[in-house]
Every structure is written in structure tokens, then in C-alpha cells.
Chains A and B, each alone.
Chain A
Amino acid sequence: GAGVSQSPSNKVTEKGKDVELRCDPISGHTALYWYRQSLGQGLEFLIYFQGNSAPDKSGLPSDRFSAERTGGSVSTLTIQRTQQEDSAVYLCASSPIGPQKLFFGSGTQLSVL
């Protein structure tokens, strides 16, 4: 595609429900990052995928968060048993390889009621 695509753009869920957020990176980009942006806060690193290497999961805030990347392309971020503090904008970014110019999607606004 022309850019990084994220879906859904908005998600409202009830506390305790599971949610899945999708990221479709730019074709051919081997590096994929997930970040979280809370109101008035900076971007918080969640997870990094590089090619077929084991992902860097050091930023995941709890074991309720998990992510996978299938076939080196599409990535899904799953949050189980959502809590109100999970409400934020979840941003995905890709780059051709490693820490080079990042291309961001428009994000998913998650609201947990």
C-alpha cells in the first residue's frame, strides 16, 4: 500500500473485553514498531519486530498485552481483559530496515469504558 494502515481507527470497548488492533506496514518494510500515546504523554514503546528475528517485547506493560507479526507483514496487537488505563492512541510504524526513517499509521484510538 501507499502508507501504513491501521484498523480500526476508533474502538470503544467495555472493561474486561479483549481487543485486537491491526497494522499493515508499507510493503517491503522489515521493521515494525508499536507505540502507545496517552493524553498529554509522550510516545511509549511497546514492541519491535525486525524481519524474522525474535521481537523485542521489553515495552509491553503487562502480560495482558501481546503482539504477533505474520509472514513478516501484518501485525496484530492484542489486549486481553482491557482496563480503563489502557485507553490511549495506539500507533504503528514501519521502516525499510531497523532504526531508519519511520512511517507512522494514523493510529487506533482505544476507549475503555
Chain B
Amino acid sequence: KQEVTQIPAALSVPEGENLVLNCSFTDSAIYNLQWFRQDPGKGLTSLLLIQSSQREQTSGRLNASLDKSSGRSTLYIAASQPGDSATYLCAVSTATGNQFYFGTGTSLTVIP
């Protein structure tokens, strides 16, 4: 069964700092990988989707990379802002596409 791990579980940084969140998965036979943001008491918002054939995706200050062979993905956030404070989750979909396996997330706090 696919296992998804996110490190660190929590991170606190001063405003303006660049940061990297890590995601690792045990089975490289994935269809795609998705990064989400979850605010307290809310659902999840998809930030970036990387297909298995791609190496990275960018959206604004966010950049996600994928190394399928080593089972790793990183989410890079440039020039962090207090509004970036949230929990970030990564999820990988199975080759059959029937479900996504989620990590337990990294709780990010950006201090003004």
C-alpha cells in the first residue's frame, strides 16, 4: 500500500523567507501528485498538479518538483507571507486512478 510522508510536521518562519516542504512516497507507480492547502475548518484547495511524466510545475510564488524514481516531491514557497500560513498536504494518485493517498501535512506559520 502506498505510504506518503511529509516532513517537517510543523514549520515556523519569518515573513519573507523562502522555504521548502518535503513529501515522500513509497510506490513510484503513480499517475500524478498534487499539493493542497488547507485552512482551519475548511476543505482543501489544490495548488499544483504534477503528472507522472513531468518534473515540475509553477504557479506564482509556488514551485513543485517531482522525482518519481526516488519517490520525492518538494514544494518551494518563495518570499513567504503571513497569508501563506496553513497546512500543506501532498497526495499521490494510484496508477489505476481510483484514489489519492494523502500525507498528514506540514503546518506552516509565517510570522509577520
Residues of B within 8 A of A102 (CB): 34, 36, 44, 46, 91, 100
Mark B4-23 against chain A: 1 for CB-CB distance below 8 A, else 0.
Answer: 10000000000000000000
Q: Which of A42, A101, A106 contacts B34 (CB 8 A)?
A: A101
Q: Tell me the dominant secondary structure on chain A's binding face.
A: loop
Q: Tell me the dominant secondary structure on chain B's binding face.
A: strand
CB distance from B53 to the nearest CB of A (A): 14
Interface residues on B, range: 20 to 34
Q: Which of A59, A101, A103, A105 contacts B99 (CB 8 A)?
A: A59
Q: Which of B49, B89, B98 contacts A100 (CB 8 A)?
A: B49
Which B positions have Cβ atoms within 8 angstroms of A?
4, 31-32, 34, 36, 41-46, 49, 89, 91, 93-94, 97-105
